[in-house]
């Protein structure tokens, strides 16, 4: 049930985001930010592709080895473009999208409950710093864990199993990055928030599984704060939380 519940909330959030003008604009801005940064980073890497390749492996003179060098060159290009996409997502997420996600969560909460619950009044700068501090571990640690497990899968005979585990963790943490928005804004302690996530793993897997759909994953990620906020409001007694 938790798995399908997660899928439903993600789809509900997308539908609500597309129907609500303010949420639609913010979601599209977030989508555009990720795409523009990814294109810029990928273009920059491809411009210096030859220099990077030369640092790793100078072009061989032997024709018997030259074909292998060309294969490595293409593989390196794919790896660098993929790496640029990951870096662009992290940069956009930490320095830009975190504010949009927070605003989308606030708008959703206001639409559903008629008000925005916060634990205390803080300045805009303090709030921004707090959001960034919360986002850095949520965004970077899952990516690092996933990359580590992916590399481990390449270097060990347990590749398929490790790949499944890495994919599952990526789905859970990407979903948590959104479901954690509301309790984090209310200054709920990290231990309590992590417990909320770990007690609903199937839900988070279901919520995050849509992020694996190529092309559409950017759209689902952009509007995920809406569905995640709906989930938190409808399934947790927010006023009773510390």
Confidence at residue 25, expressed as pLDDT on a 0 to 100 scale: 93
Distance CA 143, CA 173 (A): 9
Distance CA 4, CA 19 (A): 23
Structural domain tally of the chain? 1
Distance CA 144, CA 236 (A): 30
- Look up residue 59 and give its DSSP letter: P
Q: Which of 102, 81, 82 is nearest to 30 (CA)?
A: 102
Confidence at residue 43, expressed as pLDDT on a 0 to 100 scale: 79
Distance CA 147, CA 149 (A): 5
Please tell me the chain's helix, strand, coil percentages from 3-state DSSP, rounded to the nearest 5: 85, 0, 15
Distance CA 170, CA 150 (A): 11
Which tokens in the block code for residue 211? 């992020």
For the CA atoms of 150, 154, 157, 159, what is the dihedral angle to 10 degrees? Answer: 40
Q: Which range marks the domain in which residue 14 is found?
A: 2-240
From the number of C-beta atoms within 10 Å of its C-beta (0-12, 13-18, 19+), residue 86 rates as middle
Confidence at residue 127, expressed as pLDDT on a 0 to 100 scale: 66
Query: What pTM does this model have?
Result: 0.74
CA geometry: angle 2, 27, 203, nearest 5 deg:
5
Cα-based distances in Å from 67 to 64, 72, 73, 117, 119: 7, 9, 10, 62, 62
pLDDT tens-digit map of 12-50: 999 999 999 999 999 998 888 778 877 887 777 777 777
Confidence at residue 240, expressed as pLDDT on a 0 to 100 scale: 41
Below-50 pLDDT ranges, the chain? 238-242
């Amino acid at each position: 049930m938790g798995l399908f519940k997660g899928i439903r909330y993600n789809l509900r959030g997308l539908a609500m985001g597309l129907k609500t003008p303010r949420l639609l604009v913010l979601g599209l801005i977030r989508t555009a930010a990720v795409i523009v940064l990814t294109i810029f980073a990928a273009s920059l890497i491809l411009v210096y592709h030859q220099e990077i390749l030369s640092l790793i492996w100078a072009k061989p003179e032997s024709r018997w080895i030259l074909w292998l060098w060309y294969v490595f060159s293409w593989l390196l290009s794919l790896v660098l473009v993929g790496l640029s996409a990951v870096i662009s997502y992290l940069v956009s997420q930490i320095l830009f999208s975190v504010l949009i996600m927070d605003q989308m969560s606030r708008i959703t909460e206001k639409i559903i409950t008629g008000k925005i619950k916060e634990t205390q009044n803080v300045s805009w700068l303090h709030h921004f710093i707090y959001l960034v501090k919360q986002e850095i571990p949520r965004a970077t640690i899952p990516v690092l864990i996933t990359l580590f497990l992916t590399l481990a899968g390449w270097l060990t005979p347990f590749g398929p199993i490790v790949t499944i585990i890495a994919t599952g963790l990526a789905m859970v943490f990407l979903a948590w990055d959104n479901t954690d928005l509301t309790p984090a804004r209310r200054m709920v302690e990290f231990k309590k928030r992590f417990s909320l996530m770990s007690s609903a793993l199937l839900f988070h897997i279901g919520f995050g599984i849509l992020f694996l759909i190529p092309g559409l994953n950017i759209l689902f990620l952009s509007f995920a704060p809406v569905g995640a906020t709906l989930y938190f409001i409808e399934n947790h007694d927010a006023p009773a939380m510390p």
